[in-house]
Amino acid sequence: MPRASSLVVPALYLATTAAFADMYITQPILPQLAGDFGVGAATAGLTISAVVLTTALSSSAYGPLSEVLGRRPLMVWGSLLLAAATFACGFASSFGMLVALRALQGVLVPCISALAVAYIHDDLRGHDAGTVVGGYVAASVAGGLTGRIVSALVADAYGWHSTFAVFAVLTLAGALSLAFTLRPSSVRPSRVNALHDLAASYGGMLGHLRDVRLVGAFTIGGALFFAFIGIFTYLPFYLTAAPFRLTTGSVSWLYASYLAGVLVSPLAGRLTRRFSKRLIMGAGIAIAMAAVAALLAHTLLVIVSACVVLCAGMFLAQPIAPTFVALTAGEAKASATALYQSFYYLGAVFGSTLPGFAWDRWGWHGVVATCGASLVVALLADVLLCGRQPPESSGINSNTRAWLNARLPLPE
């Protein structure tokens, strides 16, 4: 079947928007879920942590799997299954079933999030990879924004069950667009002795942990998302209490600050033509640190402005980190970017829980301090780890190297 190559990038962006929207569907409707299922607020929050946790745990598997099965089949079929899982969430008859289906969504989200960057770098000929990756991150931001705001609007009008149906249709549209536009990967998968191939590919992935530059980038991704999700998870508690006493609906519009990320992410890709990636990441982290400090203000206008600046800083640094990983990893790039995704979402898992303990003990000041400390870790990783000299050996043994050279003709 002929594929329209000019539509590949829009198809990737549509599928990305849908996948990231699916992750955050329940965040603005937690009160409805808590009321309907008779659970507390913290328990209702499991519908967020479940999908983030399984995304983190499963992301690392997609790189090696794609090097055995091919990227295009995993991206297309994974998106189709994600649409089915999203639709099924609307029919959950118990809270436990809903959490289980949300966990299944998290297993399937990396079919896009863990493979898209590697596909862009290795299989999109005639495109500026940095710019396309920036657009991909912008699409992920747009997905998070859509999932949070549209789901609240649909749930208010038609109930939370309808929310999942709407996003299932969006995810299906993304899957079909990938099926009709994605070209087969330049990576030629081999199905002969697949278990041996998969083990060798995992060996290549784990070898990346011996490169301190990559470890630094993994740390940056996890620490950035820790701070980001920690702030936006517990900020509603702060703003709905005295002295602000905003309604839940009013607080949900604060997620519109994500639009700053949509604007900044493509800019980050273009900045790499003039400045080093480490400098751009460091600048983004520093901007985010200043914004988090400003969130201690007691003026609503300052807080809203700080949220916009936080998103700008976050999405100035975040698009560069996976690109840094893909370019720094000399071999098994898909495995390296998948490993990055695992660290990134593990940051979200801890960021959605640890600041909660700080909230219980010290209130909003504790949340800000915890998230600010995470950004300090990210900055130190950029300064102390990402700039280290490359190791003499990548940590990949000779057999694995021979397998990779035969099957993964990846550019340096």
How do residues 373-409 score in pLDDT, each as one tens digit?
A: 999 999 999 999 887 766 554 444 444 343 333 333 3
How do residues 358-368 score in pLDDT, each as one tens digit?
A: 887 898 999 99
Q: What would the two tokens of residue 402 be? A: 């021979």
Check pLDDT > 70 for residue 320. yes
How do residues 337-357 score in pLDDT, each as one tens digit?
A: 778 877 888 898 888 778 878
| Least confident range of 37-41, 42-46, 100-104, 279-283 | 42-46
What is the arithmetic mean of pLDDT over 59-84?
85
Instruction: Give CA separation, 345 vs 105, 106, 160, 261, 308, in Å.
Output: 14, 10, 25, 18, 22
Would you state the pLDDT for residue 290? Answer: 97
Q: How far apart are CA 307 and CA 318, in angstroms?
A: 16
Would you state the pLDDT for residue 401? Answer: 41
Would you state the pLDDT for residue 82? Answer: 97
User: Which amino acid does the sequence have at 240?
Assistant: T
DSSP H helical segments within 24-45, as ranges? 30-37, 41-44
Q: What would the two tokens of residue 127 be? A: 């495109």
User: Which amino acid does the sequence have at 270?
Assistant: R
Would you state the pLDDT for residue 96? Answer: 94
Q: How far apart are CA 2 and CA 388, in angstroms?
A: 46
Would you state the pLDDT for residue 2? Answer: 37
- 10 Å Cβ neighbour count for 314? 27
Q: How far apart are CA 85 and CA 124, in angstroms?
A: 29
Is pLDDT larger for residue 272 or for residue 223?
223
> Helices 71-89 & 116-123, crossing angle to 10 degrees?
150
Q: Which CATH number fits domain 5-407: 1.20.1330.10, 1.10.645.10, 3.40.50.150, 1.20.1250.20?
A: 1.20.1250.20
pLDDT-derived band at 334, boundaries 50, 70, 90: low
| Least confident range of 4-8, 70-74, 111-115, 293-297 | 4-8
pTM over 0.85: no
What is the overall mean pLDDT for the chain? 81
Backbone phi and psi for residue 211, each to the nearest 5 degrees, phi listed first: -95, 110
Would you state the pLDDT for residue 393? Answer: 45
How do residues 72-126 score in pLDDT, each as one tens digit?
A: 899 999 999 999 999 999 999 999 999 999 999 999 998 888 788 778 777 666 5
SS (H, E, C) 305-366: HHHHHHHHHHHHHCCHHHHHHHHHCCCCHHHHHHHHHHHHHHHHHHHCCHHHHHHHHHCHHH
How do residues 217-257 score in pLDDT, each as one tens digit?
A: 999 999 999 999 889 878 877 887 788 887 766 777 788 88
Q: How far apart are CA 145 and CA 396, in angstroms?
A: 40
The answer to whether 238 and 286 have CB atoms below 8 angstroms apart is: no
Say how many Å lie between the first and final Cα of the chain, rounded: 31
Check pLDDT > 70 for residue 329. yes
Residues 6+ apart with CB under 8 A from 242: none
